[in-house]
Homo-oligomer: A and B are copies of this chain.
């Protein structure tokens, strides 16, 4: 078993199934685009275990609490890992996390986006450790996200061949 998957298991975490969109929605882009040693990751939201969109929808600070937003960011991280595993075969091929752009569907007046996106960053650091896991990051407030997602995260990682 790969090191990262062993850590996921020891933390009691499971990757969701591949993204399953609502009926009628067709996506014309990949969840991960590989080029050389770069894997560029499309924006992901929180998923249920079966790959359907998790019911963490609406504006953080109004429809959802900070804690629910943190959880949405953590689940978005698991969704990203599921997409990376599907594309790379083995998450141990990730040699470095480079960038994460954390987007929070924000209520007027809420500004604690960093603490929301920590749900993602904490997960990555737990799994990959401080050297491989550390990534440049922004955490910002959006006027809206697809399907009303509370959190969406895009990222880039470096991979081995």
Shortest C-beta distance, A37 to chain B (Å), equals: 8
Q: How many residues from A make CB contacts under 8 Å with B?
A: 52
The majority secondary structure among interface residues of chain A is strand
Which of B28, B31, B41 is the one whose CB lies under 8 Å from A122?
B28
Kindly report how many copies of this chain are found in the complex they form together. Answer: 3
Q: Are A114 and B144 in contact (CB under 8 A)?
A: no
Give Cα distance in the complex from A129 to B135, angstroms. 29
Q: A29-B136, A141-B142 are in contact. List 9 more A-B contacts (CB 8 A).
A: A30-B136, A35-B96, A41-B136, A42-B138, A103-B140, A106-B143, A106-B144, A111-B145, A140-B146
- Does A15 touch B at the CB level, under 8 Å? no
Q: Which of A29, A96, A121, A141 has the most CB of B within 10 A?
A: A29
Give Cα distance in the complex from A78 to B97, angstroms. 26
Q: Taking A111-B144, A111-B146 as contacts, is the C-beta distance between A33 and B134 under 8 angstroms?
A: yes
Q: Taking A43-B139, A144-B110, A144-B141 as contacts, is the C-beta distance between A158 and B35 under 8 angstroms?
A: yes
Chain A, 56-97, CB within 8 A of any chain B CB: 96-97
Q: Taking A35-B158, A154-B136 as contacts, is the C-beta distance between A146 and B29 under 8 angstroms?
A: no
List, in ascending order, chain B residues with CB within 8 A of A152's CB.
138, 140
